[in-house]
Chain A
Amino acid sequence: MARKAGLLPGLAFADARARVPLMRVEKEDEAADAILIGNLVRWCDRYTPVIAQDPPNGLMLEISGSTHLFGGEKPLMDDAITRLARMGLTAFATIAGTTRAARALGRFRATGTIAPPGAERDHVASLPVEALEADEKVSLALRRAGLKTIADLASRPRKPLAARFGEDLTLRLAEVLGEIDRPLVPHRPPPVFSAECRFADPIGLADDIDGALSGLAHELCEGLSRLDRGGRAFEVTFFRADGAVRQIEVLSGQPLRAPKTLLRLISMRLDALPDPLDPGFGFDMIRIAVLDDDAASAVQPGLDGDNGHERSVIDLIDRLAARFGSDAVNRFVAKGSHLPERAALAVPALGAQTGSWPEMGTKPPRPLFLLSPAEPIEAMAAEVPDGPPKRFRWRGVLYDTLYVEGPERIAPEWWRAAKDVKSRDYFRVEDGEGHRFWLFRYGLYGHEREPVRWFMHGLFP
């Protein structure tokens, strides 16, 4: 339309206005374009997992392995163009043996060109030299030298060209001619295994979706067990008929290839979604992919009684992680640090090993609850400047100390460039009612410039 009215890319705004006076003007929205391209990348996942963005506004799909699913290259390309047109997008598509040739054909040739491998030379021959996308100066110089098309360049010896216009130009030329292939860098590593299911009629009922997922899980797990592998990270992708794509990820602590367990994890993950899966007018394709896998030898259950218990706990952790997020399910791990906030870490339980905990021995006791951050308290009436307060106020309540143990001095870790550089003197105090607290004085008396402060750091049982 725009081309017919005489509007071409690169036209100055005033000229365009002069040619079409009633033109509506929209500002370019780069962020929205980027989001659209990102969504399209995910949508193109239905054709192949190896996809790369081709800036400024192209997508590069590696389809060598997936044409048979559509009955050839041409049907695949037509399918993509019609589906995109249905979404309101006009797309130009070309197929070629190398990435650079495909790009040049896509930008400077009519849509629908298919250049079989080895025949790129014939197809690109008539393209202008700008299709090489070399520097503007180089293109201009080529035109001035009378070299207008790629065919003109291709017929000439390369060495003088390289000497005159630079090594870059001959490299580009070789790429466009299909002599050298620049490998495609996919937007993410392709999945290790995947199973997918296309529906002639979009499905939307929960039962149908469950049935499809079950079939896919069985297919995937069969493939995994054939190779003695188990998946650790799975991705379920729902392609909606109107182009929306929803991906959910499921993690497993142990290599997993039991379809039942996988289905359970997926359904728990679907239950826990903050915005539930919306089938809209139905899904026309569902895929389960294994993003990360690990060797998993076949196990014979039942001979070792303990094995079953351990296995069930690992499954439990997987289920809880699927439901509440893998960061929420924690294990405590001891670290070799004197600072209490560093000494015991909570790490995600998914895939963590059951460790041992160092014996307490004669170490001073530690509180059951740690307050993070430590809360300032108002300390009053210390007997001696270095001693613990006889009375303190915490969260608006006054406490009188009856029993005191301490101080236990904990110096900062000087090997860390940290802001807190003062020592802490910890006291375990008990009030008249049996509440036990862990207080510390931040800084030493007569040592620091600012007045020392007191903090509540923990609560004892």
Chain B
Amino acid sequence: MDRAHDALGRLRAIASMSAPLMASETVSLGGQLSGLPALSRSTVHEFFALRKEDAPATTGFVAGVVSRAGRESRLSLWVRCAPLRAGALYGAGLAGMGINPATLIHLPVDNEKDALRAALEGLRCKGLASVVIDIAGPAPHLDLTATRRLKLAAAEHGVTTLILRAGTDPSPSAAQTRWQVAPSLSASPGLSLPGNPAFAVTLLKHPSEGTGRSWEMEWDHETRAFAPKTLSRPVASLPFDRTHREAGESLRARA
């Protein structure tokens, strides 16, 4: 009986620990997306691109998360371990995902061990908003132990840690949440123009939410937030030779 009581007490303690976090302790990806859980700060989140070709989309999504997680002009660290042919991060493109590129410390490294070392070094610095560990291809050293270490360091210094893996399958890790990001056909504003960056995001792991759900979302640069992908619909071109009213009348006459 005593043991049962103890267990109950322990469970209550755990429940109180995972009580709803305050808004400042989480990063909301966008208010309009129903059911999309916010990411808590000071812990580790993983983002996967299953195929190498999906790496730009996943990187773009993580860039969006970094810009959402940024606060009070604090700097972020982006440690990147990727082959040259994957392309180099481009400042103006990061600006397109809401990041002020001047607030980013970019560190390309040769191997994943160096990437982990640099990331741990960054996590020990309480002045950073977030740390991105961007490793392309398989990373055997980024295992349960390494991610656990990252998680502890992130919790201690309050730095949001984002692990970005391109072209690999998820492996066991201590990350709090895990997401799979793939490119999605953008919502064209018509005239077969490409629209905003669009993503198909699947939640693979979450401590409290149901997993397996997916969202189709796009990056809205105006509000600097993720939003539901707008449906593709043709937009009437503006008349250039008459006023709006005339144009409307002529349309009605035709009908």
Contacts of B192 in A (CB 8 A): 402-404
| Choice from B93, B94, B102, B183 contacting A333 with Cβ under 8 Å | B102
Chain A residues in 8 Å Cβ range of B128: 313, 316
Q: Which of B46-104 contact A (CB under 8 A)?
A: 53, 56-57, 59-61, 63, 72-75, 77, 85-97, 100-104
Contacts of A357 in B (CB 8 A): 91, 95, 100-102
Interface of chain A residues 355 through 369 with chain B (CB within 8 A): 355-357, 360, 365-369
B185 within 8 A of A: yes
CA distance A324 to B75 in the complex (A): 19
Q: Is the CB of A331 within 8 A of B61?
A: no
Tell me how many residue pairs across A and B have CB atoms closer than 8 Å: 190
Q: A324-B109, A360-B221 are contacts. A368–B96 as well, Cβ < 8 Å?
A: yes
Is B173 an interface residue, CB under 8 A from the partner? Answer: no
B90: contacting residue among A324, A356, A370, A434, CB under 8 A: A370
How far, in angstroms, from A178 to B29 measured CA to CA in the complex? Answer: 80
Is A441 an interface residue, CB under 8 A from the partner? no
Alpha-carbon separation in the docked complex, A402 to B95 (Å): 25
Is there contact, CB below 8 Å, between A461 and B97?
yes
Q: Which of A306, A334, A460 contacts B93 (CB 8 A)?
A: A460
Q: Assess whether B93 is in contact with A370, with CB atoms less than 8 Å apart.
A: yes
CB distance from B186 to the nearest CB of A (A): 6
**Contact between B194 and A320 (Cβ–Cβ < 8 Å)?**
no
> How many Å lie between the Cα of A315 and that of B126 in the bound state?
11
Contacts A367-B93, A369-B56, A370-B90: A324 and B106 contacting too (C-beta < 8 A)?
no
Other-chain contact of A461, B74, B101, B219 (Cβ < 8 Å):
B219
**B107 within 8 A of partner (CB):** yes
Within 8 A of B (CB), among A239-277: none
Partner of A436, one of B72, B91, B94, B183: B183
Whether A434 contacts B186 by the Cβ 8 Å rule is yes
B105 x A331 contact (CB < 8 A)? yes
Contact of A369 among B59, B103, B125 (CB under 8 A): B59
Whether B194 and A360, one on each chain, are in contact in the complex, defined by CB atoms closer than 8 angstroms, is: no
Rounded to whole Å, the gap between the CB of A258 and the closest CB of chain B is 16
Interface size class of A (residues with CB under 8 A): 35 or more
CB of B101 within 8 A of CB of A312, answer no
> Interface digits, A312-351 against B, CB 8 Å rule (1 contact, 0 not)?
1101110110011000111111100000100111100100
- Interchain CB contact (< 8 A) of A319 among B56, B73, B102, B121: B121
A458:B87 contact, CB within 8 angstroms: yes
A328-B107 in contact (CB<8A): yes
Q: A329-B107, A368-B60 are known contacts; what are 14 more A-B pairs with Cβ within 8 Å?
A: A315-B125, A324-B109, A332-B94, A334-B91, A344-B91, A357-B102, A368-B89, A404-B193, A428-B194, A432-B185, A433-B183, A434-B183, A436-B183, A461-B219
Contact: B127 with A310, CB < 8 Å? Answer: yes
Interface of A is mostly: mixed
B interface majority secondary structure? mixed
How far is it, in angstroms, between the C-alpha of A316 and the C-alpha of B105 when the chains are bound?
10
Interfacial residues of chain B within 23-42, with CB under 8 A of chain A in the complex? none
What are 7 A-B contacts defined by CB distance under 8 Å?
A329-B107, A370-B90, A372-B88, A404-B193, A404-B194, A429-B194, A434-B198
Would B121 and A316 count as touching, CB distance under 8 A?
A: yes
A368-B60, A461-B59 given; A309·B194 CB < 8 A? no
Are B102's CB and A354's CB within 8 A?
yes
Q: Is B117 an interface residue (CB 8 A)?
A: yes
Chain A positions 426 through 453: 1 when the CB is less than 8 Å from some CB of chain B, otherwise 0: 0011101111100000000000000000
Contact of B194 among A330, A372, A405 (CB under 8 A): A405
Instruction: Say which residue of A329, A356, A369 sits within 8 Å of B88 (CB atoms).
Output: A369
A-B pairs, 8 with minimum CB distance: A461-B60, A369-B87, A344-B91, A332-B91, A309-B127, A434-B183, A366-B92, A332-B101
**Distance from A399 Cβ to chain B, minimum over Cβ atoms (Å):** 10
- Residues 112-138 of B contacting A (Cβ, < 8 Å): 114, 117-118, 121-122, 124-128
Please give, as numbers and ranges, the residues of chain B lying within 8 Å of A315 by CB-CB distance.
125
